[in-house]
Structure 1
Amino acid sequence: MSIRPILETRAATPTMEGAGVKLHRAFGFQDPSELDPFLLFDDFRNEHPQDYMRGFPWHPHRGIETITYVLSGTVEHADSLGNTGTLGAGDVQWMTAGSGILHQEMPEGNTTGQMHGFQLWGNLPASQKMTAPRYQDVESREIPEVIDDDGTRVRVIVGEFWGKTGPVDGIAADPQYLDISVPAGVKKTFKIDTYRRAFAYVFEGAAAFADASQPTGVLLEKEVAGQELNIRDMSGDRTLIRFGTGDEVTVQAGPEGVRFLLISGAPIEEPVAWHGPIVMNTQAELQQAMRDLSNGTFIKAAH
């Protein structure tokens, strides 16, 4: 077994999208090979309705999949194929844009005005760029949760983990998407397929992640030395941890515990031509998509 090295730890940066939605971006619009097959990850979390209520009005997507996971509040969605619906707390939507879709997403806070969710963009291989669009809307009650003896909780959104299989299937990158809560002071190791690119995103509490660059890992060294982890050792709220190659990730939860997403997928390793919400393989394909948008032929699939 080998602990994955930590290639990078960085804080999500504030940005604005849609019609003025304030959010934090962990990665996106940079080097698409870093976390191939994933392109972008946003944490949209606000206490004030004026920071999100204008939402994400009609916009196109082609060549990608968007994964929306709502923790609190709701997101109403509609698209050019006539689909409509509402995502509530704990729900997931996996949208395969394929050949092209126009849609809108309008967030609404809970009873106290809070809105919180995540959106991840996954790339599609060339062979699936122009497939028919499809949705997988998954209600919270359909997502299996596993509770270990030490109190660790894992919601299995996609993929297999601890004997449970997530309800989302047929995804190009064959990803694993886990929502993990580890109680205060607990140290836990999670297995990940060696050949997947992987990252963690901390959004509650704090934790230290072992790094393969130190033979026994920082966590184990401190444990042997009888030292307590201090906040400088830890990754806290809105922190991305990007891992290198290995088959396990070890985490030591801080004094308030930690909740994080652990996401991995098989790299596609194809050229990327990217402009906003459209991701193709060549500039010629990208230019064709722009022409399709301007002349009204962007939508290829009938309802």
Structure 2
Amino acid sequence: MSTVATSLLAQPREVERLVAGQPTSDGAGVKLNRVLTNNLQRRLDPFLMLDAFGSENPDDYVAGFPDHPHRGFETITYMLQGRIRHRDSAGNEGLVSDGGVQWMTAGRGVIHSELPEQREGRMSGFQLWLNLPAKDKLRDPWYLDVQGADVPQYEREGVTVRVIAGDSHGVQGAVQREVTEPLYLDLHLAPGARFEQPLPATHNAFVYVYQGALKFDSGCLQREGRMAILANTPGSDGVRLQAGDEPTRAILVAGKPLGEPIAQYGPFVMNTEAELVQAVRDFQAGRLA
């Protein structure tokens, strides 16, 4: 257990806007809510996409995501409930289950599948896409599977914090990245509990509530299923959150912008159109790992 001061921030960030996301389907018909869409990629650089999924109906998820390519970015799958097995063309394989994380660096490319290993029960979680800097887009693919019990976490004053990436109050997350410096926290707040997290003023950041509701100092109320984009106010030093009258769960994500061009064609994210053309040609020729 870790204890931190009740108030750390002099100028917490305000909410710039709330985003509801778009119900859609992907893979072989998996139903999800696409919260961070293409039109927000530059605003929330280095993050490219956030999908939230959750259903007790097997028809909404059982077909999963059969073989599909990736190049030029990282995928972070965080399972709240359920079991998904991933395999790829380089021979990597792993199982992600309740509370676990699968972090994949596609780099120069993989053919990847994510298929549920359950036929009933609830499946829920998130997939976040994190861009790679131009210098790393063709690096070797890399995987890390972290089981739920191994995700670092701490508790303080009615809040449990699971640290998937970055650092929170001295607790190092499962993954660190030097260039994009991602912070990825899963917050579980008791009714009325408060949480503060320092953030560099230059980092882009957002909060997504997946249970309950959060209140901000400005009076903004963020309800379940909404993403709050946090304003990049000069001099701001972090974010302060408070749960409403019921238990609340949310993810807090932040990162250092790359400030590089983004060229995307489906599962390929590069810096130029020419690089996208090459990615498609490599895929068609079977040159992905």
TM-score, normalising length from structure 1? 0.88
Q: CA–CA distance in 2 between the matches of 1:80 and 1:169?
A: 25
Instruction: Report the alpha carbon displacement of residue 31 of structure 1 after superposing the two structures with TM.
Output: 3.9
For 1:266, the aligned partner's letter is K
After superposition, residues 37-52 of structure 1 pair within 5 angstroms as: 37-52=46-61
Q: CA–CA distance in 1 between the matches of 2:241 and 2:199?
A: 13
User: 1:228 aligns to what?
Assistant: none
After superposition, residues 104-119 of structure 1 pair within 5 angstroms as: 104-109=113-118, 113-119=121-127
For 1:182, the aligned partner's letter is L
Are residue 297 (structure 1) and residue 281 (structure 2) matched? no
After superposition, residues 33-182 of structure 1 pair within 5 angstroms as: 33-109=42-118, 113-148=121-156, 150-170=157-177, 172-182=179-189
DSSP 3-state at the match of 1:251: strand
**2:46/2:180 contact within 8 Å kept:** yes
Deviations 1:199-226 (Å, cap 9, x if unpaired)?
A: 001001111123xxxxxx33xxxxxxxx
Instruction: Report the alpha carbon displacement of residue 24 of structure 1 after superposing the two structures with TM.
Output: 0.6
After superposition, residues 241-260 of structure 1 pair within 5 angstroms as: 241-245=228-232, 246-260=236-250
For 1:239, the aligned partner's letter is R
DSSP 3-state at the match of 1:130: coil
User: 1:240 aligns to what?
Assistant: 227
Which ranges of structure 1 fall in alignment gaps of 5 or more residues? 211-216, 219-232
**2:176/2:182 contact within 8 Å kept:** no
Q: CA–CA distance in 2 between the matches of 1:164 and 1:298?
A: 36
For 2:129, the aligned partner's letter is W
User: 1:261 aligns to what?
Assistant: 251
Instruction: Report the alpha carbon displacement of residue 76 of structure 1 after superposing the two structures with TM.
Output: 0.7
DSSP 3-state at the match of 2:283: helix
Instruction: Report the alpha carbon displacement of residue 171 of structure 1 after superposing the two structures with TM.
Output: 5.8
Q: CA–CA distance in 2 between the matches of 1:135 and 1:92?
A: 10
User: 1:272 aligns to what?
Assistant: 262
Are residue 3 (structure 1) and residue 12 (structure 2) matched? yes
Deviations 1:235-286 (Å, cap 9, x if unpaired)?
A: 1211100012222212221111211000101100000110111000000000
Instruction: Report the alpha carbon displacement of residue 13 of structure 1 after superposing the two structures with TM.
Output: 1.9
**2:46/2:256 contact within 8 Å kept:** yes
**1:72/1:109 contact within 8 Å kept:** no
For 2:19, the aligned partner's letter is R
Q: CA–CA distance in 2 between the matches of 1:109 and 1:35?
A: 34
Instruction: Report the alpha carbon displacement of residue 170 of structure 1 after superposing the two structures with TM.
Output: 4.0
Deviations 1:136-183 (Å, cap 9, x if unpaired)?
A: 1111122121111x2111111111111210122346411111011121
For 2:151, the aligned partner's letter is I
Q: CA–CA distance in 2 between the matches of 1:201 and 1:176?
A: 14
Q: What's the RMSD between the two structures over aligned residues?
A: 1.4
**2:57/2:122 contact within 8 Å kept:** yes
After superposition, residues 194-233 of structure 1 pair within 5 angstroms as: 194-210=201-217, 217-218=218-219
Q: CA–CA distance in 1 between the matches of 2:177 and 2:43?
A: 23
Q: 2:278 aligns with which of 273, 288, 302?
A: 288
Q: CA–CA distance in 2 between the matches of 1:238 and 1:171?
A: 30
- Distance change in 2, residues 1:73/1:40 (3 Å): same
Residue identity (%): 44
**2:104/2:144 contact within 8 Å kept:** yes
Deviations 1:113-136 (Å, cap 9, x if unpaired)?
A: 100110000001100000000001
- Runs of 4 or more, structure 1, over 4 Å off, are none
Q: CA–CA distance in 1 between the matches of 2:100 and 2:178?
A: 18
User: 2:6 aligns to what?
Assistant: none
